[in-house]
Chain A
Amino acid sequence: MSEVKNILLVGVGGQGTILASKILTNGLIEAGYDVKMSEIHGMSQRGGNVSTQVRFGEKVYSPIVGKGEADVIVAFEKMEALRWIDYLKDDGIMVINDFEIPSVPILMGKAQYPEDILGKLSKVAKTVVLKAGEIASDLGNPKAMNVVLLGALVKAINVPDVDWHKAIRDNVKKGFEDLNIEAFDAGFNA
């Protein structure tokens, strides 16, 4: 537990990265890790790209992760995986939600959404790809996409000493505990 692990959650404002990182950090704290987490608020949230950085280990100093330092990156949106790939360690894992949100230049027809992102990424990194939106919809609530991705992320981090179901119960809205636990398990086993 001495080595500090670095996690990045990247996506687009409004995708629920904040709740996923809250469950993640609370689970890690309960298991006894020192945890630091950093997120950016303000103008970048108006449809811009968002990132949450989580670092955990025995003792953590810096709250932010540098290039080539992330053990696991979970990209809530496909193009964001491309944007952040250089932050991944050479032997790191990139968890990718196979889901597209075109940005304004693409919406306006001024730029193309990059082609074959999954293919390109799989050539340079170990990738885990899932359709978290569809998995969540099948469970009855597309909004649980973030917790599906959390499940896949947790599997990639591989910290067995954490009670994730408890962390979910403690942090999601009352009445949505079971749905979110199902979503988490589906992501974990995807």
Chain B
Amino acid sequence: MKTIMSGNEAIARGAWEGGMEFASAYPGTPSTEILENIANYKDVYSEWAPNEKVGAEAAIGASIAGVRSLCAMKHVGLNVAADPLYTFCYTGVTGGMVFCVADDPGQHSSQNEQDNRNTAESARALMLEPSDSQECKDFMKLAFELSERFDTPIIMHLTTRVCHSKGLVELGERVSKPIVPYEPKIAKYVTVPANAKVLRAKLEDRIKIMREYSETCEINKPEYNDKKVGVITSGISYQYSKEVFGEDASYLKLGMSWPFPDALVKEFAEKVEKIYVIEEMDPYIERHCKLLGIDVIGKQVIPSFDELNTDIVRNAIFGGTDKPRKINEDAVVRPPTLCAGCPHRGFFYALSKRKNIMINGDIGCYTLGAAPPLSALHTCICMGGSLSMAHGASIAMKRANTETKVVGVLGDSTFFHTGVESLIGAVYNQGSSVSIILDNRITGMTGHQQNPGSGYTLMGKETTEVDIPALCMAIGVKEENIYTVNPNHLDEVNKALDEALAKDEPTVLITKWPCALKKFTEEDKANFDLSPKKCIIDQDKCKKCKSCVGVGCPAIYNSGDKITINQDSCLGCGVCMQVCPFDAIEEVK
């Protein structure tokens, strides 16, 4: 039976069919739905990890204990999980183990564009590259077998278009894989230098065997048509290539791209006349071809950044220019924005009015605090980085003898991800930055995943919530230096900011209000006044000063001659009401 599935759904299905027992991940676009879908298979265990490194380590532990396991992450998550990956490639596995890694060419939802095929090669992990949903499922099932056969973790290299495109998938049965009984293997798994040096040498032997497989396996078969043109490609680029060349070219599609199938590529190169390498981002295949002395046309015509599509490939190969525009007028940009009723808005509004301040931001919905009119975020580098960057910057400001105060801002999930360590660094080293945690009771941007502060697990079980103020105290922040405020109440936010910024020691400010889009729990309903409210503008009192427009709420419309609040989208957070100097905005129930 065929059913339509996204790449992420198919990865989940393939893992289940492949006898996987344990899955762990930290959510990140475009990988998030892998674990969300695995959680639908109730006969296997799945969980959210606080970060990608923890998720990878948990899956490694499960593998060593004898079960098939996986971890999943977006591309930058592999940077966090790189430490266990590199060494686990030395030790190898007991139960098959797969790192599902989703790159984001074109940066649809990411702070950078990195090609993790390089990481797979650098870590020496066997790499598979599915090009559609059917292959996601099939390769995933195969991955566990290969992992055990070659004693290696697998990198399942995915990209946004593979993860988020849907195609038809033929389903199969779940394989029954007996769990390997545990026995300690100290020489294999304790990587003290004496053991690790032996493992390093053994890894080279394994690479040889894996390369032989790569040169002969079913997923690396040439597809000969017209031999005047040969295309070497992998992943989604194969689909674009087929669309552009059709039957007028021969193809070598690499389903397994590390170890690189040297002999197979040489053989293909001898049989075709002109060779194109079609790949997104870095010249990974091209570099290998050139090392083999094969003359290929790759990045000299194919763009080396942003995602490809059929159009781009066709124009790159056959020339051609963009068609003329049908209408010479641009649509007004529609940037993503903090939602109406978002609890981050009030906080960022208050912060935006501060002078002489450096605001370090982080990865999440609140990065949108950088957008006008708020413009209240000055940096964003990586997950969990805001608090440590704020600490370093505050020391730098002191050394420069400036009065500039420094804050770091992150969300609850990002705090648990790697922000906790950043706070430890700031407190232990007696810094004076203000660490601000925007606790909206859920992981927002990726679509409401549970986290250690939300009270539920991925599988829906109630669990212990991390008590953020108590954790901060345990780290060493004085109780009187921890402020918890309602971010919708500007006076409360301003009072706490005044006090925290005046102190020359570590302070923590926690804003606590649930995400406006969240499906509220009973606990949320008990702890917060979430009764339905709206704000309306009394047009008789409104002087059109536009103070309310300055909060950047998508429910407020300044048409030029009138300012109104859209009653369908307003949630009555009341921030606009507090900034109106003429009391022209009122709350209605």
Q: A residues touching B (Cβ–Cβ < 8 Å)?
A: 12-13, 25-26, 29, 34-49, 60-64, 66-69, 79-80, 82-83, 85-86, 88, 102-109, 111-114, 120-121, 124-125
Contacts and interface: CB of A to CB of B under 8 A. Distances in A.
Interface in B318-339: 322-323, 325-327, 329, 331-339
B309 A48 contact: no
A104 B29 contact: no
Given A42-B108, A107-B554, A112-B332, 15 more contacts: A29-B168, A35-B166, A35-B167, A36-B132, A38-B164, A41-B29, A42-B109, A60-B167, A64-B310, A79-B331, A83-B334, A86-B326, A106-B332, A109-B549, A125-B326
Contact of B337 (A47, A83, A85): A47
B239 interface: yes
B365 interface: yes
A86 B323 contact: yes
Interface in B390-415: none
B326 A47 contact: no
Nearest to B373: A108
Given A25-B166, A37-B4, A68-B323, A47 B108 contact: no
Contacts of A46: 336-339, 365, 368, 445
A71 to B, nearest CB: 15
Contact of A61 (B30, B32, B242, B332): B242
Interface string B109-140: 10000000000000000000000100000000
A43 B336 contact: yes
Contacts of A83: 331, 334
Interface stretch (B76-84, B195-203, B453-461, B555-563): B555-563
B309 A109 contact: no
Contacts of B491: none
A107 to B, nearest CB: 5
A47 B168 contact: no
Interface in B530-572: 546, 549, 552, 554, 556-560
Interface of B: 2, 4, 29-30, 32-33, 108-109, 132, 160-161, 164-168, 236, 239-240, 242-243, 309-312, 314, 322-323, 325-327, 329, 331-339, 365, 368, 371-373, 445-447, 546, 549, 552, 554, 556-560
Given A34-B168, A41-B30, A102-B557, A63 B333 contact: no
Contacts of B337: 46-48, 104
A41 B448 CA distance: 13
Closest 10 CB pairs of A and B: A42-B109, A66-B311, A42-B29, A63-B165, A83-B331, A46-B336, A109-B558, A103-B334, A48-B336, A38-B165
Nearest to B108: A40
Nearest to A84: B331
25 contacts: A29-B4, A38-B164, A40-B160, A41-B164, A43-B29, A43-B109, A43-B445, A46-B365, A47-B337, A47-B554, A48-B336, A63-B165, A63-B236, A64-B165, A66-B314, A79-B331, A79-B334, A82-B327, A83-B334, A86-B325, A86-B326, A102-B557, A105-B332, A114-B329, A114-B332
Contacts of A44: 108-109, 336
A107 B239 CA distance: 41
B142 to A, nearest CB: 22
B575 to A, nearest CB: 15
A37 B323 CA distance: 25
A67 B554 CA distance: 30
A40 B331 contact: no
Given A79-B331, A104-B554, A109-B549, A85 B326 contact: yes
B207 to A, nearest CB: 33
Nearest to A82: B331
Q: Which of B109, B326, B549 has the most CB of A within 10 A?
A: B326
Nearest to B546: A109
Nearest to A111: B332
Q: Which of B338, B371, B559 has the most CB of A within 10 A?
A: B559
Contacts of B372: 108
Nearest to B238: A61
A61 B109 CA distance: 24
Contact of A103 (B2, B32, B312, B335): B335
A111 B335 CA distance: 13
A41 B168 CA distance: 20
A107 B338 CA distance: 14
A82 B242 CA distance: 31
Contacts of A47: 334-337, 339, 554
A72 to B, nearest CB: 15
A54 B576 CA distance: 41
Contacts of B335: 47-48, 103-104
B165 A124 contact: no
A30 B326 CA distance: 36
Contacts of A121: 327
Contacts of B447: 41
Contact of B311 (A41, A63, A67, A79): A67
Contacts of A113: 332
Contacts of B2: 29
A179 B32 CA distance: 33
A170 B331 CA distance: 36
A181 to B, nearest CB: 22
A46 B166 CA distance: 22
Contacts of A104: 334-335, 337, 371, 552, 554
B240 A62 contact: yes
Contacts of B30: 41-42
A124 B324 CA distance: 12
Nearest to A81: B331
Nearest to B109: A42
Nearest to A45: B336
Nearest to B315: A66
B515 to A, nearest CB: 11
B334 A49 contact: yes
B528 to A, nearest CB: 22
Nearest to A50: B334
Contacts of B557: 102, 107
Contacts of A112: 332
